[in-house]
A and B are shown apart, each in its own frame.
Chain A
Amino acid sequence: EVQLVESGGGLVQPGRSLRLSCAASGFTFDDYAMHWVRQAPGKGLEWVSGISWNSGSIGYADSVKGRFTISRDNAKNSLYLQMNSLRAEDTALYYCAKDNKQWLVGNAFDIWGQGTMVTVSS
């Protein structure tokens, strides 16, 4: 069964850091690009960051550029999101999503995890 399981969310104070993880199973992880997409409570979806199969291409939304870092470990079938200088507006459910291609060429997110909640509050 193809599966993505996120972890690492929680309550964190503004300005602090958090690292999210996504464990993949049921498919050849290093054949596909991967993404993080977030959804604030009661709001719509927002693409956060994406990484190609070999980490050679990486993209970020303007709202997180310079604060968040995406990475992957193909040997561990895992995707990560290092989030620094967190703000209240980063509060959201963070989804890990599989791309249907190797490269960040604008294709679709065909498999999604159930998400991990990040709450930034003092």
Chain B
Amino acid sequence: EIVLTQSPVSLPVTPGEPASITCRSSQSLLHRNGLNYVDWYLQKPGQSPQLLIYLGSNRASGVPDRFSGSGSGTDFTLKISRVEAEDVGVYYCMQGLQTSITFGAGTKVEIK
């Protein structure tokens, strides 16, 4: 089973400042088709999770362009260029390369 390690566990942020979360995989998530099979999700308080980034770097429909995903192989990063108050919640990376999906443990983003 592929293990995803997210850091940090908790991230206090200042509105208007940038923020980043990393996700490290125990195995390469690069498919032979050249795509990285990693997504990023945000679960806001009291809501269902929502898709932010899919296949490593593709922003989902309706997601603000302050969110971006990067990385390849085993190391991935989610960046928020300028944090807004509505960005608080728990962020998860997820991989679906093999026949078993796994999630990172989550990063809780809070406003300072």
Partners in one complex: no
